[in-house]
Amino acid sequence: MEAGTAISFANVAARYEGGREVLSDVSFNISSGSFYFLSGASGAGKTTLLRLIYMLHPASRGQIKLFGKNTIGISRDEINQLRNKMAIVFQEYSLISNLSVFDNIALPLRVRGSDEKYIKKIVTKTLEWVGLAQYANQKPLNLSGGQQQRVSVARAIITQPEILLADEPTGNLDDDSASRLMELFLQMNKNFGTAIILATHSQKLMDIYKFPKIFVENHHVRFQSDVKNNIQPVTEKMSPKKSENYFTELSNKLELQFSKLAGDK
């Protein structure tokens, strides 16, 4: 991914059904390949901010640019083109219960008309990457919460997004599952250059992983950064896990597989 600005807000505001502004005069730039935590009290506007970025909710005023393109007033086709460069992960997993794990992950590629040979190869590799290869034919409800969330992450990475938005993805998970999920996000950011905005209420998570923070409060956003962006988080408080090398190795293999199969789609 080329260096540059992935997301740009200029004096953006948002409201619902004519009510008061949920967000007011929001301005910021987020670079490609960066990683930010998004924090704030319940109802402060975190989800609204993510919805604005993903173009699920229109700004009431101001300008939003994605990859340098102004999103105000663009056509449905142009919206879809921009969304094809992004992915979103929700707290509630949002998996289709009557589809297998494999088919849930393959869905974005099938919607885009990708070749089934390509789909089979890349979904299989992605299932290995998230540690769920043995569950390919299972239905989501047969999996634990942490496993279902990893399926949703796999569905997100399958399209190689340039931006990933994650709305409280660890909110329903225990510490071990949350830690494993964070490792997946870190590998996406490091090995694929995906810019990530991860909404969370967990102060523990933000203390362990020293990424810059976006705070939403009083209808505005402010940034806090104790470290330079795009560096590895400080993880001394975590005990070493074998899964770290496992995911690193698999994500490197997956990156190579994406490159080799790019011409087969």
Closest-CA residue to 209 (of 188, 183, 191, 190): 183
Q: Classify each residue of 148-167 as buried b or exposed e, where b means 16 or more C-beta atoms within 10 Å of its C-beta.
A: bbbbbbbbbbbbbbbbbbbb
* Percentage helix, strand, coil for the chain under 3-state DSSP, each rounded to 5: 40, 25, 35
CATH of the domain at 141: 3.40.50.300
As a whole number of Å, the CA-based R_g of the chain is 18
Closest-CA residue to 126 (of 113, 115, 135): 135
Q: Which domain holds residue 158?
A: 5-264
The pLDDT score that the predictor gives to residue 23 is 95
116-141 tens-digit pLDDT? 999 999 999 999 888 899 999 999 99
Please give the tally of structural domains in the chain: 1
Residue pair 148/171 in contact by the 8 Å Cβ criterion: no
102-115 tens-digit pLDDT? 999 999 999 989 99
176-225 tens-digit pLDDT? 888 888 988 998 898 888 999 999 988 888 999 889 999 999 889 999 86
